[in-house]
Amino acid sequence: MAEQKATPQTKQQLPNAVAALVLGILSVLLGCLFIGLILGIIGLVISSKDKKMYDKNPQAYEGYGSLNAGRILSIIGTVLGGLSVLYYVIVVLIVGGTALTFLKHLDF
């Protein structure tokens, strides 16, 4: 009796899943700095490319959990980075306006 060996289909790892996860983590950690915004955007671009690959053929790839976690963290990091940039712009405007008001009252 000849037995047929079942060869499991080897799934490929998504090429940028780990990179998207690392960029997402770094963007959250560095979200209060300008670099968190940049890393978040890069993480979103990388994860969107791999997500398209996975959506075309989900049976051929593994590592979607890491990719999705990296994508979510990149979104959070991008929002945090955007809020921090907005905060710094508002602080500069307030300090600049106060300085101009103060200088206007001085007699030179």
Burial label for 72, CB within 10 Å (0-12, 13-18, 19+), is: middle
How far is it, in rounded angstroms, from Cα 29 to Cα 84? 13
What pLDDT score does 77 carry?
Answer: 95
| pLDDT tens digits for range 5-60 | 544 578 899 999 999 999 999 999 998 888 999 999 999 999 999 999 999 999 99
What pLDDT score does 5 carry?
Answer: 52
pTM of the model: 0.82
What pLDDT score does 55 carry?
Answer: 93
| pLDDT tens digits for range 75-92 | 999 999 999 999 999 999
How far is it, in rounded angstroms, from Cα 79 to Cα 72? 11
